[in-house]
Amino acid sequence: MGIEIGILFYIRKEKLCGGFEMMIDWIDFGQVSAERDENLSKYFFENGVLQAVIQNRHQFLVLGRKGAGKTAVFQHLSENPERYISTHDIAVNLSLQNYSWDVHSLLATDGKAQSLAYIQSWKYVIYLLAIKNLLEKSENNKKIKEAGKIISKIYTSPTPSLGQVIGQKLLQLSKFKIPSAGLDLEGSNLDSVSADGGEISFAEVRDDNQLQVSLNRSIERLSEIFEEALLDALGRNRRVFVSFDRIDEAWDSVSFENSQRIIAGLIGASEYVNSKFKGSLRPVVFLREDIFETIDLNDKNKLRSDCGQLLAWSKDGLTRMILERVNFFARGSDNSELARVEDLFDRDQMRQQRAPFDHVMLRTMLRPRDFIKFFQLIKGDMINRRDNPFEEEAVHESRLECQAIYNAEPAYSEWLVEELRDEWRAQFPAINTLFSAIQSNGRTNFTREDISKALIQVGAPANAGDVSGYLKFLFDNSIIGFRVGKSNQWRYKCFFSSQGFVESDLYKVHDGLHRGLNLTESRSTSESA
């Protein structure tokens, strides 16, 4: 013990004197939340989804699970458009975190199918923002300039912000006078576009059907005018990309149905615009995959196949992501970069002769957020033990300890359980009941009969159809896995994306959820994937 204390004292002395710095002092992994990560653009690793969407004019949907990195990709495009589009193109990037959902709810067009209700209003938003950005780039097209004059009459500026576009001034359109036909965007005809004057409130429009009808007529007519101008201005040599992120911001149990209609409208409008402009005006919608599945849309599978790009990750991609982040902080502290992810750890193998990175990976849903959180907890455990005066064993600060991986698992598992609850609590609140049933069963492995009994114990429906539906949901979200044929390998959706659900004699809860659900491992059937 005396020798170890002496060595630690020497190390601390060298650190204070600037001799060298231990890994645990400089290493970092960035933030779990992309919007709060100020260094994201400096170490962002993009796995190809952006390039695929930009190059294929038919695609406008970027789908991925919560935590897959959609906002990171969106933010990277916002900050580095020159890496993906030409200097003649324009990128408009809209984070709908503070979007005025209440005002937008007035813009649904009556008499259309629910999934189409908001298409017209979203077309208006896309067109207006495209014209605004063209004007900011000094666009000389005559019709775009005339459209800008109309926008100025409405918003007192040809380049209003998103908050102004969908805000108080929009309500004035319920009293706006726009010719139903014949407006050819010539300056002499713009005098016929006028406002009645006087402020109008959200409540007035909400409670007055005539004002709503007038508002929607104005928006429909303006959309026609803006569309004509944009068709005249855009072509192969100039494209405008309008990207939407955080569209699920209002996705909760209170506004669930309204959010479905709003998101369906944006997808419908994007499909229309993309087809109409043949790629010269390109909406790009970043959306959670689970939310897309719950929305009432015609030809949903066709949309996913032809117009969607799935943001999914491989082991190689996630290895690159971690190394990019670690090496950014290594350079910043004048330390050597790591060539291999294996160089992060103090041992080559953990229990069951598995590499440390693989051990971590098997406890994730193969998403960047999972890895970042797990590695943050590993570092946190080492720092806490190093700084704890009652810690008996020395912390090996030159590498990430495999022991710290084991120590971090309970906190990580609790976090992962809450991530899944948060992901599904709005559209599938039964997830809480399913977790209660799994906890009631108490084992990592269970049969169909086991889960049926557990569902009854927690007061949930447990007929044959219910249980089959629950098991499929759990598998589709990588909460449980099963074996196929005579294989001893457990298959989870996150690791075997093409695997469909099949009835099985035995199911196993994902390794990353064991601690968070307080499950006891069944040793005789505990082989991991």
What is the torsional sign of CA 438, 443, 444, 450?
A: negative
Q: Phi and psi of 175, rounded to 5°?
A: -120, 15
pLDDT at residue 218, as a whole number:
82
Q: Is 485 helix (H, G, I), strand (E, B) or coil?
A: coil
Q: Shortest CA distance to 148 belongs to which of 130, 121, 171?
A: 130
> Is 57 within 8 Å of 278 (Cβ atoms)?
yes
Reported as half-sphere exposure (CB side, CA atoms, 13 A), residue 23 has a value of: 20
Q: Shortest CA distance to 99 belongs to which of 224, 289, 222, 263?
A: 263
pLDDT tens profile 1-17: 444 444 444 444 344 33
> Is 96 within 8 Å of 262 (Cβ atoms)?
no
pLDDT tens profile 224-278: 999 999 999 997 778 999 999 988 766 665 566 777 888 888 999 999 999 999 9
Burial of 320 (0-12, 13-18, 19+ CB in 10 A): middle
Higher pLDDT, 471 or 425: 471
Burial of 497 (0-12, 13-18, 19+ CB in 10 A): exposed
Rounded CA separation 448/454 (Å): 10
For the domain made up of 425-525, give the CATH fold: Arc Repressor Mutant, subunit A (1.10.10)
Reported as half-sphere exposure (CB side, CA atoms, 13 A), residue 53 has a value of: 29
pLDDT at residue 139, as a whole number:
84
For 29: left if phi > 0, alpha if psi spans -120 to 50, otherwise beta; the answer is alpha
What is the torsional sign of CA 326, 329, 333, 337?
A: positive
Q: Shortest CA distance to 495 belongs to which of 506, 485, 510?
A: 510
What is the torsional sign of CA 278, 279, 280, 285?
A: positive
Which of 200-204, 284-288, 413-417 ranks highest by mean pLDDT? Answer: 413-417
Q: What amino acid is encoded at 526 in this protein?
A: S
Burial of 241 (0-12, 13-18, 19+ CB in 10 A): buried
Instruction: For residue 523, name the pLDDT band (cuts at 50, 70, 90).
Output: low
Lowest-confidence region among 17-21, 129-133, 197-201, 425-429: 17-21
> Is 89 within 8 Å of 284 (Cβ atoms)?
no
Higher pLDDT, 48 or 344: 344
Average pLDDT in the chain: 85
Task: Give me the residue spans of the domains in the chain.
Answer: 22-31+315-421, 59-299, 425-525
pLDDT tens profile 413-425: 999 999 999 989 8
Tokens of 49: 């989804």
* DSSP H stretches of helix in 17-161: 23-26, 40-43, 49-55, 70-79, 101-104, 119-136, 142-155
> Is 68 within 8 Å of 367 (Cβ atoms)?
yes
Q: In sequence order, what E strands does 269-373 have?
A: 281-288, 308-310
Residue 110 reports pLDDT greater than 80: no
Which of 175-179, 296-300, 427-431 ranks highest by mean pLDDT? Answer: 427-431
pTM: 0.84
> Is 254 within 8 Å of 273 (Cβ atoms)?
no
Q: Shortest CA distance to 113 belongs to which of 261, 216, 255?
A: 261
Pairing assessment for the beta strands 61-64 and 281-288 based on DSSP bridges? parallel
pLDDT tens profile 131-184: 999 999 888 889 999 899 888 888 888 888 777 777 767 777 777 776 655 555
Work out the average pLDDT over 342-361. 95
Q: Shortest CA distance to 145 belongs to which of 236, 229, 238, 227?
A: 229
Q: How many helices (H) and strands (E) does the chain have?
A: 22, 10
3-state helix, strand, coil in the chain (%, to 5): 55, 10, 35
Rounded CA separation 265/451 (Å): 39
